[in-house]
Structure 1
Amino acid sequence: MPLRWITTLLILCETLAGESRLNEGLSDGETVNDLKLVQLVFRHGDRAPFRVYKTDPYGKAIWTNGMGQLTRVGVKQHYDLGSFFRRRYHGFLNATNQASEVYIRSSDQDRTLESAAAFAAGLIPADASTSWSKDELGQTWRPVPVHSVAWAEESLLYKEAPCMEFKRLINESSNLPEARRLHKENRAVFDFVIKASGADPSTMKTAMDEWEQLDFVYDVLTCQQAHELNLPPWLNGTVFLKMRELSNVFFHMKYGANGDRARARLGGGNLLDLIVDRMRDKGHAKAQEYLNKTKLFVYSGHDTTVAGLLASLQLYNYSANISNIGIPHYASVVIIEQFQNDSVRVSFKNDPLNIPTSEPKIVIPPGCPTTSSLCPLITLVEVTKPFRVEDVKKECRGPQFGDNINVEDVSIALITVVLVIVLTTVALGCYKRKKSRRKASADSGIENRSLIRPYARLEDQEENEAAL
């Protein structure tokens, strides 16, 4: 049997199994056939650390793809994730022309672009009708567009670089009361990690410097742990777990957890606004043609992208008494499904070790009914309004002089000022004219008196001369 037919049969078996599992997982009578629009926001797959700390026993040599790059593990994670959603949405997406119904957007980083490509390969493989070559690659893979913008212009899937106000809030996170408390109570842990990792103590000038050093070392350790490397000799399991706890909680604080509206709005508010707008416009006559044609929007971003979106949905909270999301895992994904009756379900898949089989966990945004897994779109629009951002460039500038001035009040004030100036000018003009008249009258009197007096003197003089 030709390879392409074997591939097609395998895909068919997988998709039928996936449809059955999806329909079993759907509640409130909804099935895959009731779907109207799906939007996915995920983190890239497993990557190498961005750099290594001074005393790192492994160094850079083990990361053969380069620092910060997607690893082979990461490629497999996203291929599996794409395959998972191919099975999940079988019957919703067109079996033979899925590429025209899917829009994929990635940030402009190698690891996110490659994750998006691997995801697309799993989601939309070649089949008998789309194969483009007789070799194995042509029978199993087909090109799928991945869209992006320049990194310097990225404001949807990554915020810190172009958003100065968000960067300021991130840098001030160490001053939050909970951050100060944790820093003080775990002073010994910070000191130990700074010393053991070989950091120069003179560079640790602020609490934020120490938090960043702990986060940096923890990131390197988690990258190594994902590749089954042993912890370095200087670190025991107890300290590693404490580092994990501190890094996870601080990540929550930086990206808008527990109702921190300012950070949540800038972290994910404009992405949430786009997602909500697409759901409101889907199926409407005013919607652009591509929106009515597209059934699945996919966004390939970062841990901060996923955390920011969850925070803007008020779903990224932490507590000492419950299990927290923490830093979203590799290939974690927020799933927003809109049904034909304009109800919405939000779920979160965050299990990198069981991507092919683990089911997403349904999460309910505050303000939505808790008696159902579905939230009416009109309700979701209302409860997310305080966290959605329409003009991200304006908010990223931070407070500016005049931002809170009411235009109507300004107009009234300007009209008042103009009237005062006009009335003052008129009054001054009247006063000056009146004063000029008085002066002219006074000058005329003086001239008359000066003319009379000489003649009077002349008459007196003539009378005196006659008397003589």
Structure 2
Amino acid sequence: MLLNYNNMLLIIIYLTVIATAIYGQIPKADSNLKFATVLFRHGDRASSFTYKTNPYPDAFPEGPYELTKLGKQHMYVKGQIFRHLYDGYLSKLYLDNEIYTKTTNVARTHMTAAMVLTGLYPPTNYQKWSNQETIWQPIPVYGGSPDHGDAQVKNCPSFLPTFIKGASASLTGNASLALEPLLSYLSEQCGQPIDIRNLFSLFDLFTCQLAAGLELPEWTKPNIYEQLKAIMISEDQRKNFNGNTKLQNLMIGPLLKEITLKIQQKSSGDEKRKIYMYSGHDFSILFTTAVLGHLIETPKFGASLHFHVYRFNNTDEDVIKVYYLKSWDDDKGEELSISNCNSPCKVADFINIANNKFTKTWEEECHT
């Protein structure tokens, strides 16, 4: 039976929608995957800020910046998502020669890494070590990640002024004057002065409270949170902050160097492990994606960035693809293009781009 024009058009539209839906999603690991590096943000945490009229002064008993109970639960699920993505590529048994996990030197990233590994490697068969049912087994997490995404950079004189300048550049002059009515309202409702310096901290507190399922105070309705978010993710803010090359180098320059080195070593056959994982921060992902050419908004808790090295058409040239999972429960993700690299991006080209991104070493950047 011949299809009429309208039916043909509907079929074409349907197939186009299906193709669009699946294009760019992170694929489940197969025999073509040669190496993976995964950078993830820690799970839900407490804020370090409060204000006099805060209706939830005891909402986070863990303490400032610490991983919450919900954060632990979410990152356990994140590990299960990793198991789904990499099952078959990684053994179901934890094998030290397959995986290496590093973290920055704060409690919330250490604990996050532990929860992710618990979800990724539930003890099975031989590795069931307890007579009682358990979902946990001891898996090493190594400190010393070269990631400075926690913004606690020591022995680096230029970091703090560069950070402050980048964060506040879009909130000076006329932009600052335009904020005065909002700051006045916030100060009145919070029972204490709110200015540009602690505006970011107030937004962070609201974000942590919302993530914990708490309802913001009545005075924030209908759109105070949305107003604050618009300020934090404005195009100018992202250009001045995410797009600041000096800040990129100070934050993630050494991390990018290590990721690139591991990819190069795997491609040349010198690296034997299958996957490296880095437990980091929102800034870790924010500035790494900026280096790739994407000025994204602040990553959510549990977001992850995946660098995949693939064998290319049975040739000696490996290619690299990068995928971004936007939150702890995102199991689809999206593929990110790599700036100045043709698609498919050859590993050799990626390494050249990454190694030439910064004209100064991290140490030189710190002292200029």
TM-score, normalised to structure 1, is 0.67
Which structure has the larger Rg? 1
TM-aligned CA deviation for residue 183 of structure 1: 2.7
Partner of 1:229: 214
Distance 1:254 1:125 in 2: 43
> Which one of 48, 53, 56 corresponds to residue 54 of structure 2?
56
Distance 1:166 1:160 in 2: 9
User: 2:122, 2:137 within 8 Å by CA — same for their partners in 1?
Assistant: yes
> Which one of 158, 171, 184 corresponds to residue 164 of structure 2?
171
Q: Which has the higher contact order (CA 8 A, sep 6+)?
A: 2
TM-aligned CA deviation for residue 254 of structure 1: 5.9
Where do 5+ consecutive residues of structure 1 fail to align? 1-23, 202-209, 318-324, 400-468
> Which one of 293, 296, 301 corresponds to residue 314 of structure 1?
293
TM-aligned CA deviation for residue 79 of structure 1: 0.9
State the number of aligned residues.
340
Partner of 2:16: none
Could you list the structure 1 runs, at least 4 aligned residues long, displaced by more than 4 angstroms after superposition: 24-27, 153-157, 177-181
User: 2:169, 2:240 within 8 Å by CA — same for their partners in 1?
Assistant: no
Is residue 2:273 matched to residue 1:294?
yes
Distance 1:271 1:180 in 2: 35
> Which one of 378, 382, 393 corresponds to residue 352 of structure 2?
382
Is residue 2:65 matched to residue 1:73?
no
User: 2:146, 2:254 within 8 Å by CA — same for their partners in 1?
Assistant: no
Where do 5+ consecutive residues of structure 2 fail to align? 1-21, 313-317
User: 2:103, 2:279 within 8 Å by CA — same for their partners in 1?
Assistant: yes
TM-score, normalised to structure 2, is 0.83
Alpha carbons of 1:91 and 1:124: their partners in 2 closer, same or farther (altered >3 Å)? same
Distance 1:175 1:62 in 2: 29
Partner of 2:99: 102
1:337 is paired with a residue whose SS is: strand
Distance 2:214 2:113 in 1: 27
TM-aligned CA deviation for residue 212 of structure 1: 2.8
Partner of 1:212: 197
> Which one of 208, 218, 238 corresponds to residue 252 of structure 1?
238
2:230 is paired with a residue whose SS is: helix
> Which one of 204, 227, 245 corresponds to residue 261 of structure 1?
245
Is residue 2:82 matched to residue 1:85?
yes
Q: What do residues 79-99 of structure 1 show as CA deviations (whole Å, max 9, x unaligned)?
A: 111111111111211233434
Q: Counterparts of 1:88-237 in structure 2 under 5 Å? A: 88-137=85-134, 140-149=135-144, 156-162=148-154, 163-173=156-166, 176=169, 180-200=173-193, 210-237=195-222
Q: What do residues 386-426 of structure 1 show as CA deviations (whole Å, max 9, x unaligned)?
A: 434773223212x2xxxxxxxxxxxxxxxxxxxxxxxxxxx
User: 1:269, 1:389 within 8 Å by CA — same for their partners in 2?
Assistant: no
TM-aligned CA deviation for residue 243 of structure 1: 0.7
TM-aligned CA deviation for residue 37 of structure 1: 1.1
Distance 1:335 1:179 in 2: 36
Q: What do residues 92-130 of structure 1 show as CA deviations (whole Å, max 9, x unaligned)?
A: 112334343111111121111111000000111110121
The range that moved more, 297-306 or 388-397, is: 388-397
User: 2:41, 2:285 within 8 Å by CA — same for their partners in 1?
Assistant: yes
Partner of 2:319: 343
Distance 2:282 2:50 in 1: 20
Counterpart code for 1:161? V
Alpha carbons of 1:253 and 1:271: their partners in 2 closer, same or farther (altered >3 Å)? same
1:199 is paired with a residue whose SS is: coil
Distance 2:360 2:90 in 1: 30
Q: What do residues 231-257 of structure 1 show as CA deviations (whole Å, max 9, x unaligned)?
A: 113222322210111123376356433
Distance 1:98 1:25 in 2: 32
Partner of 1:36: 34
Identity %: 23
> Which one of 234, 253, 256 corresponds to residue 272 of structure 1?
256
2:278 is paired with a residue whose SS is: strand
Distance 2:106 2:161 in 1: 23
